[in-house]
A and B are shown apart, each in its own frame.
Chain A
Amino acid sequence: MPSFQRDINRLGKRPTFGSNQRKPDAMTLCDKNTFIEEERHVKANDRDYNGKFPYADNRIKTSKYHIVTFLPINLFEQFQRVANAYFLFLLILQLIPQISSLSWFTTIVPLVLVLTITAVKDAMDDFFRHKSDNHVNNRQSQVLIDGKLHNEKWMNVRVGDIIKLENNQFVAADLLLLSSSEPYGLCYIETAELDGETNLKVRQALTVTSELGEDISKMAAFDGEVVCEPPNNRLDRFTGTLFWKDEKHSLANDKMLLRGCVLRNTEWCFGMVIFAGPQTKLMQNSGKTTFKRTSIDRLMNTLVLWIFGFLTCMGIILAIGNSIWEYRVGDDFRVYLAWSEVLDHAVFSGFLTFWSYVIILNTVVPISLYVSVEVIRLGHSYFINWDRRMYCSKRDTPAEARTTTLNEELGQIEYIFSDKTGTLTQNIMAFNKCSINGKTYGDIYDELGRKIEVTERTPSVDFSFNHLSDKKFKFYDHSLVEAIKLGDSSVHEFFRLLSLCHTIMAEEKNEGELVYQAQSPDEGALVTAARNFGFVFRSRTPETITLCEMGKPVTYQLLAILDFNNYRKRMSVIVRNPKGQIKLYSKGADTILFDMLHPSDEDLMYTTSDHLSEFAGEGLRTLALAYKDLEEEYFEEWFKRHHFASTTLDNREDCLAALYEEIEQDMKLLGATAIEDKLQEGVAETIACLTLANIKVWVLTGDKQETAMNIGYSCNMLRDDMNEVFIISGHTVLEVQQELRKAKERMLGSYRDVGNGHTNSEKLEMSKNDSVVEETFTGEYALMINGHSLAHALEADLERVFLDIACMCKTVICCRVTPLQKAQVVELVKKNKNAVTLAIGDGANDVSMIKTAHIGVGISGQEGMQAVLASDFSFAQFRFLQRLLLVHGRWSYFRMCNFLCYFFYKNFAFTLVHFWFGFFCGFSAQTVYDQWFITLFNIVYTSLPVLAMGLFDQDVTEQSSLEHPKLYEPGQFNVLFNKHKFFICTAQGVYTSIVLFFIPYGVFLDTVRDDGSHISDHQSFAVTIATSLVIVVSVQIGLDTSYWTAVNHFYIWGSVAIYFSILFAMYSDGIFDLFPNQFPFIGTARNALSQKSVWLVILLTTVVCVMPVVALRFLRVDLYPRLTDKVRFMQQASKKQRPLEHNLKRVRRTSSRRSAYAFAHQEGYGELITSGKNMKVTNPFSSLPAGKVQGSTSWIENLLKKRTDASNSASTERTPKQQPPQ
Chain B
Amino acid sequence: MSNRKGPPGSQPFMKRPDNTAFKQQKLPAWSPTLKAETVLPFFFLSGVACIMIGVLLIITAAGVQEIKVDYTEERDCAECYSLRLDRANSIIDCACTVFFSLSEAFKGDVFMYYGLTNFHQNQRHYMVSRDDAQLVGRQYNLKNPSITCVPFDKYKNGTPIAPCGAIANSIFNDTLQLFYHSDKNTETPVPLLKTDISWFTDRTVKFQNPSPKDNLTAAFAGTARPFYWWKPAYQLSVEENNNGFVNEDLIVWMRQAAFPSFKKLYRQLNRTQEFNDGLPAGNYSVKISYNYPVGKFKGRKSVILSTVSWLGGHSNFLGVAYCASGAIILIVAIILTVVHLKFREKPLGLEEE
Contacts and interface: CB of A to CB of B under 8 A. Distances in A.
B265 interface: yes
A215 interface: no
Contacts of A386: 17-18, 23-24
Interface in B248-270: 252, 255-265, 268
B164 to A, nearest CB: 12
A101 interface: yes
A952 B129 CA distance: 48
A332 B33 contact: no
Contacts of B312: 1007-1010, 1015, 1091, 1093
B201 A1001 contact: no
B189 interface: no
Contacts of B150: 340
Given A387-B17, A964-B352, A954 B199 contact: no
A483 interface: no
Interface in A383-432: 383, 385-388, 391, 393, 396-398, 400-402, 404
A383 B348 contact: no
Interface residues of B, number: 114
Given A1118-B339, A1119-B343, A1127-B350, A1045 B29 contact: yes
Contact of A383 (B25, B169, B339): B25
B247 interface: no
A954 B308 CA distance: 51
B255 A1123 contact: no
B27 A1082 contact: no
A1132 B345 contact: no
Contacts of A800: none
B297 A921 contact: no
Contact of B125 (A398, A924, A1128): A924
A1046 B34 contact: no
A1082 B122 contact: no
Given A954-B25, A1042-B32, A1128-B31, A1121 B258 contact: no
Contacts of B332: 1107, 1111
Given A925-B124, A1115-B336, A1013 B1 contact: no
Given A336-B169, A1006-B313, A1012 B109 contact: yes
A1022 to B, nearest CB: 8
Given A1076-B132, A1082-B205, A387 B16 contact: no
A1100 B123 contact: no
Contacts of A334: 296
A391 to B, nearest CB: 5
A1111 B308 contact: no
A1096 B53 contact: yes
Contact of B259 (A920, A1128, A1130): A920
Contacts of A1125: 33
A1121 B125 contact: no
B124 A921 contact: yes
B318 A1077 contact: no
Interface string B24-60: 1101111111101001001100100010010001000
A339 interface: yes
A374 to B, nearest CB: 13
B156 interface: no
Interface in A1084-1103: 1086-1087, 1091-1093, 1096-1097, 1100, 1103
B322 interface: yes
A926 interface: yes
Contact of A387 (B24, B310, B345): B24
A532 to B, nearest CB: 26
Contacts of B33: 1042, 1117, 1125, 1128-1129, 1132
A381 interface: yes
Given A393-B16, A1080-B132, A1096-B57, A1016 B318 contact: no
Nearest to A1004: B258
B350 A1086 contact: no
Interface residues of A, number: 114
A337 B199 contact: no
A1103 B16 contact: no
Main secondary structure of the interface of B (DSSP, over half): loop
B129 A333 contact: no
B293 interface: yes
Contacts of B325: 1100, 1103-1104, 1107
Contact of B345 (A356, A381, A1012, A1121): A1121
A1118 B352 contact: no
Contact of B124 (A393, A924, A1091): A924
B179 interface: no
Given A388-B19, A1083-B202, A1111-B336, A1010 B46 contact: no
A337 B113 CA distance: 24
Interface in A365-389: 381, 383, 385-388
Residue of B14, B30, B340, B349 contacting most chain A CB atoms (<10 Å):
B30
A1126 B151 CA distance: 67
Interface string B299-310: 000000010111
A1014 B17 contact: no
B320 to A, nearest CB: 9
A1000 B52 CA distance: 20
Contacts of B317: 1002-1003, 1005-1006
B12 interface: yes
Contacts of B293: 335
B311 interface: yes
Contact of B315 (A1007, A1043, A1122, A1133): A1007
Interface string B278-300: 00000000000000010011100
B120 A921 contact: yes
Residue of B109, B169, B296, B321 contacting most chain A CB atoms (<10 Å):
B321
B53 A1119 contact: no
A1132 B29 CA distance: 12
Contact of A1002 (B39, B42, B321): B321
Interface in A319-376: 329-330, 332-340, 343, 356
A1021 interface: yes
A1016 B199 CA distance: 13
B353 interface: yes
B15 interface: yes
A1126 B350 contact: yes
Interface in B191-248: 197-202, 205-206
A1044 B30 contact: yes
Contacts of B19: 388
A1047 B27 contact: yes
B45 to A, nearest CB: 12
B125 A339 contact: yes
A999 interface: yes
Interface in A971-1030: 999, 1001-1021
B175 to A, nearest CB: 19
Interface string A940-961: 0000000000001010001000
A1080 B321 CA distance: 32
A1117 B202 CA distance: 52
A1114 interface: yes
B16 A391 contact: yes
A1003 B17 contact: no
Contacts of A404: 1
22 contacts: A398-B16, A926-B123, A964-B352, A966-B353, A1003-B317, A1009-B308, A1010-B308, A1014-B262, A1014-B265, A1017-B256, A1069-B205, A1073-B205, A1076-B136, A1077-B131, A1077-B146, A1093-B318, A1111-B332, A1111-B336, A1114-B34, A1119-B345, A1123-B352, A1126-B348
Which 10 pairs from chain A and chain B are nearest by CB? A1083-B201, A386-B23, A924-B124, A1012-B111, A336-B170, A1021-B258, A926-B124, A332-B297, A1045-B27, A1076-B132
Given A1009-B312, A1042-B33, A1126-B348, 13 more contacts: A128-B2, A338-B152, A398-B17, A924-B124, A952-B25, A1005-B259, A1010-B312, A1014-B262, A1042-B32, A1044-B30, A1045-B27, A1082-B205, A1118-B345
